[in-house]
A and B are shown apart, each in its own frame.
Chain A
């Protein structure tokens, strides 16, 4: 009976996408769990956050829950999903709430979505929930719409891997009513929430983002059905791998620097690439080593941005050269890039000439490609 090592094919991932706490994703997930159980499927709850919501707690009754793992951190006790226990239990389906959650330091893995990867690799199907504002590529847009910088993000490719993305919708008005009735948060938290994320205009924008994102996910899955990709290789290619592949009309190159706006640039470039189904890579140019007088902080910033790009599954390269614009455009031409993405030049100020120069030079040199200067999506820059 007990065959813990028999290999199973990778589990299937289903994501319920919402746009705010309280729309009913968790309830829907648990409802699906109950339905599966009635159908005789071996289903467990890996993690579920009741938030003291009566309806949801009742919905979880009768479902087997794998006990959470307790962890001490700075004198407090935290509870996380015990992925290893779920793997040992080996259910057919595991329900995992709050896909974008960050585990407490000291956990096996930093993020819950990484725990879910482990379950999927173990052959367990996973049903999970996430709100649209946690998607990495939407981080700046959400910031602009809400004034809130969401810290817990999930790379888009993780959602892309899901076999099914289902939108769970609720009109903002109904959500606000729920909030006022105390059905989402306890009263003191509800008041606070109404001030922040739950402003009506913010909710409407988030809802539209979720609808459009789900439509995009549906669209992407149709395309994949038409022309199956050879292998959705999750790992960034090794430095030796050729960058040029045939049959792709659009190729996007993101120029990575120490500029803090680079993160916005990377997210935007990747998002555009995903929508255009374009190849996307990123390049940093370091000064020739003997001349490298860049302060360590700058080098660290570049490394940080390169790592960030890799975490979003963007191929990265680092080249040496003192004339960054020339190196960049030459590389782009060699690799048949159609679009170069640059950050906005710094504001007019004493030292800014360098940055403005770069945009100017690239535009002049890259006369055979498009150059996109990416917006600074800072909410303060916008009249509200």
Chain B
């Protein structure tokens, strides 16, 4: 019934072909993401390198961690390693040696290193970009605390500051991301974190558990983006992902703030997204406009995505927006109900419920 396919126009097709050619030339990037040292990222990454080598791929190790635990050492022995070089006392990846060697696959353990001043690139992840552009596939590992956009959150949890970082936009260019999950105890054992071995403090356990949650959700967001890209590439407009997306429809009404706060709480609990929409209605009185502005100020403060909608028919506009954004819950408020309510049933609220077939509709009280 609904349009699920978009007729491709020639411009778009051309762009698609160019993008695909570029995609073919470029090396593929895979990232192993861990939430803390000791989850076993390095091992998983190098072990994949070993398996690929056994399947006949030309795999080399471009960068290792400075300290390697014995099980990692054992895998490293089975792989060809291009040693790090020393520049101004820092150990850096020897990108020229790798480019000369031209392997199919290069393993980079630890993405988030700064190169010393005067290097070709300031950051190791930029070295990796160059390898990818040269058509070399890269498998890399990174820890949550080094992801720029999560740094503040991680610092709040751990109380430690980290200077080196990789931008999330780079992580998002990865063709594949794989999260290495493990119970916190495992990190404590392996990371030498509680070097005495005899269990870390409850607060350290709790920190690890929080970091773990952040990492899982980060991976979920990256996966969600990939799904969007995939659906777009395949001409599918509507998406029903795994993410809860809450849409709050605000009107010039005093209860709007409560509804927005509830939307925020719900989207927090679900780790979802919150959208607040309102109609562009030139017919509002000054007073109504002021109340609406107050409500939107609350939404802004809570970091909701706010969108004004145009259109004659509010229900039509809400539903269009909801379908396009994969909304899973619509919150409507009481003034809406009030106004609709005085009309006969079968009017706006009824239509909304009827049209929102795949979406929960939550009606808020007086």
The chain A residues found within 8 Å of chain B, CB to CB, are: 14, 141, 144-145, 164, 166-171, 173-174, 200-201, 204-209, 211-212, 214-216, 218-219, 221-222, 225, 268, 275-277, 339, 344-345, 348, 356, 359-360, 363-364, 366-377, 381-384
Contacts and interface: CB of A to CB of B under 8 A. Distances in A.
A356 B206 CA distance: 48
Contacts of A375: 328, 356-361
Nearest to B227: A204
Given A166-B183, A169-B178, A276-B266, A372 B366 contact: no
A268 B328 CA distance: 12
Given A201-B227, A201-B230, A383 B4 contact: yes
A214 B216 contact: yes
Contacts of B178: 169-171, 174
Given A211-B216, A225-B206, A371-B363, 18 more contacts: A14-B183, A166-B181, A169-B181, A204-B226, A211-B219, A211-B220, A212-B243, A218-B212, A219-B213, A221-B209, A222-B213, A268-B360, A366-B365, A373-B362, A374-B360, A382-B358, A383-B3, A384-B236
Nearest to B323: A383
Contact of A169 (B175, B219, B356): B219
A373 B209 contact: no
A169 B234 CA distance: 25
B240 to A, nearest CB: 5
A270 to B, nearest CB: 14
B180 interface: yes
Nearest first, the 8 A-B pairs at minimum CB distance are A383-B2, A208-B242, A171-B176, A215-B216, A211-B220, A209-B242, A167-B181, A383-B4
Given A171-B30, A173-B176, A211-B219, A372 B362 contact: yes
A384 B323 CA distance: 12
Contacts of A214: 181, 216
Contacts of B99: none
Interface in B192-232: 202, 206, 209-210, 212-213, 216-217, 219-220, 223-224, 226-227, 230-231
Interface centre among B182, B337, B354, B360 (most CB of A within 10 A): B360
A29 B242 CA distance: 26
A336 B237 CA distance: 41
B350 interface: yes
B238 to A, nearest CB: 5
Contacts of B216: 167, 211-212, 214-215, 218
24 contacts: A141-B240, A144-B358, A145-B240, A164-B183, A169-B179, A201-B227, A201-B234, A205-B227, A208-B227, A212-B217, A212-B242, A214-B181, A214-B216, A215-B216, A218-B213, A225-B206, A359-B353, A363-B337, A368-B366, A370-B364, A372-B363, A375-B358, A381-B358, A382-B238
Interface in B233-255: 234, 236-238, 240-243
B345 to A, nearest CB: 5
A371 B362 contact: yes
B26 to A, nearest CB: 15
A174 B357 contact: no
Given A204-B227, A376-B358, A382-B358, A345 B353 contact: yes
Contacts of B223: 204, 207-208, 211
Contacts of B131: none
A208 B237 contact: no
B256 to A, nearest CB: 14
Nearest to A14: B183
Nearest to B269: A275
Given A211-B216, A215-B213, A383-B4, A372 B230 contact: no
A221 to B, nearest CB: 7
Contacts, number: 159
A212 B358 contact: no
Interface centre among B216, B234, B362 (most CB of A within 10 A): B216
B75 to A, nearest CB: 15
Nearest to A366: B365
B85 interface: no
B242 A201 contact: no
A141 B328 CA distance: 11
A383 B237 contact: yes
Interface of B: 1-4, 30, 175-183, 202, 206, 209-210, 212-213, 216-217, 219-220, 223-224, 226-227, 230-231, 234, 236-238, 240-243, 262, 265-266, 269-271, 328, 334, 337, 341, 345, 349-350, 353-354, 356-366
A216 B262 CA distance: 19
A211 B217 contact: yes
Contact of A166 (B1, B182, B357): B182
B358 A215 contact: no
A167 B243 contact: no
B359 A363 contact: no
Nearest to A345: B353
A348 B223 CA distance: 39
Contacts of A359: 353
Contacts of A381: 357-358
A363 B213 contact: no
Contacts of A370: 262, 362-365
A354 to B, nearest CB: 13
Nearest to A373: B361
Contacts of A209: 242
Contacts of B202: 225
A218 B237 CA distance: 33
Contacts of A367: 334, 365-366
Contacts of A211: 179, 216-217, 219-220, 223, 242
Contacts of A369: 365
A373 B210 contact: no
A382 B266 CA distance: 24
A128 B361 CA distance: 37
A168 B219 CA distance: 13
A208 B243 contact: yes
Given A208-B223, A369-B365, A381-B358, A344 B176 contact: no
A366 B209 CA distance: 40
B242 A141 contact: yes
A208 B241 contact: yes
Contact of A167 (B179, B266, B356): B179
A375 B334 CA distance: 20
A103 B232 CA distance: 42
Nearest to B236: A384
Contacts of B364: 370
